[in-house]
Structure 1
Amino acid sequence: MPRAERERQMLQVAEEVFAERGYVSASMDEIAERVGVSKPMLYEYFHSKEGLLLACIAQSRAELREATEEAVLGATSAEEALRRGLRAFFVYIRERRQAWSLLRHEMALIGTGASDEIEETRRQQTDLIAKLMTGYFGVGSPLRVEATAEFVVGACERLAVWCERHAEVTPDRATDYAMDVLWTGLRERAQ
């Protein structure tokens, strides 16, 4: 099997095991067994269990960014860009529950490099939202743009956690809920 394909397989299985058992309880033995490789091969690719976790988080971050960026392409208004970006996020967390689980269980990862990776995911989304806002809104100072983007990211994270408890809430419905609150505060600043 080509190296890139084997690595994708290892990451997929590791994501499943980390999501099922949590980082601390997950074992490299179980991951290797499920993948059908030796434990030393996992270490050859990722150097450590933490290295494997970091690779899983980095992959999830890249996928989330790609989904969000693609969703807002061609948006013709601030409202449309916000709605599309929010929907992409809620679709991602619904369709990639295991990846989302890794990103949201950061308290168990404090003291590991993973907590930095998770914060980098937030930073990525905040930067993307701030960039979009600058193009669509008369937002004022860069500090205000960043504060508003941080608010959007934090609010959406909490709504996503709430959605986990309410399986009946679809990505479209979650987007509507978020837009009801967020767009009300942003509408007046749209250009």
Structure 2
Amino acid sequence: MTSAGKTERRRRMPRADREQQMMTVAEAVFAERGYAASSMDEIAERVGVSKPMLYEYFGSKEGLLVACIRQVRAELHDLTAEAVIDARSPEDALRKGLITFFRFTDEHRRSWDLLLRTEAAVVGQAAVEEIEAVRQEQTKLHIALFSAYMPDADARSLEAAAEILVGACERLSVWYVRHDDVTPEEAAEHIMRMTWFGLRGEVTGHLDHSE
């Protein structure tokens, strides 16, 4: 097939599919080499497109990184939110959310590694803000969960509890991905033991007070 024919075939791919293909390859390259050592030339070569096409879609290497992180953020948010819909109790909801989180890090190690290894010193502000947005989105989900069972609780206390939980999950996930013999359920139980003991008293107290 001539180069013109190959170019025409590439153009037939819908933009959304091409964009997804680029992000999938970029995510793999960023995870393998780290952001600083990754090049748009290598990403373009692996995708099978020209480097100018990458810039046309994402503007810059940082723009491509931000797009990858944003996709991870959206998937993690949707999975976590869906996991707690049919929870039978606050404890069940928290456990389901935690198991989903660790299952996500297990099944999407490249995505999670991308977030954990992206250092502020080597990326631009947009990428730093997108990574923080992942944390804040998880914090908001936890606050919403706590508020559903403790509607009269102090807002600042709920926010602090959510931040603690997100920080604990992030750090334990670093340990978790290094231990192939630990299941998502076991990792979730580690967090439950450290956090639910304190939260249980708050939840029970508010539920008793409302009766």
TM-score over 0.5 (shorter chain)? yes
| Contact residue 34 and residue 118 of structure 2 kept, 8 A | no
> 1: CA distance between counterparts of 2:39 and 2:121?
15
Match of 1:60 in 2: 72
How many Å separate the matches in 2 of 1:27 and 1:45? Answer: 16
The 5 A counterparts of 1:36-51 are 36-51=48-63
Tell me which amino acid in the other structure corresponds to 2:118.
E
Q: CA deviation at 1:167?
A: 1.7
Q: Offset at 1:76?
A: 2.0
CA RMSD of aligned residues (A): 1.3
State the TM-score, normalized to the length of structure 2.
0.87
Work out the CA distance in 2 between the residues paired with 1:141 and 1:21. Answer: 44
Equivalent residue for 1:114, pick from 124, 127, 131 = 127
Instruction: Give the corresponding residue for 1:189.
Output: 202
Partner of 1:132: 145
Corresponding position: 1:157 with 2:161: no
Q: Which runs of 5+ in 1 are unaligned?
A: none
Give 2:182's aligned amino acid.
V
Q: Which amino acid aligns with 1:44?
A: E
| Structure 2 portions without partners, runs of 5+ | 1-12
Displacement of 1:162 in angstroms is 0.9
Distance 1:172 1:179, change over 3 A: same
Q: What's the offset of the Cα at 1:85?
A: 0.5
Shift of 1:158: 0.7
Pick aligned residue for 2:109 from 90, 94, 97 = 97
- Structure 1 residue identity aligned to 2:88: T
Cα gap change, 1:13 to 1:83, in 2 (>3 Å): same
For residues 24-54 of structure 1, the C-alpha deviation after alignment (integer angstroms, 9 at most, x for no partner) is: 0001011011111111110000010000000
Task: Give, in angstroms, the shift of residue 138 of structure 1.
Answer: 5.9
Q: Number of residue pairs matched?
A: 191
Q: Which has the larger radius of gyration?
A: 2
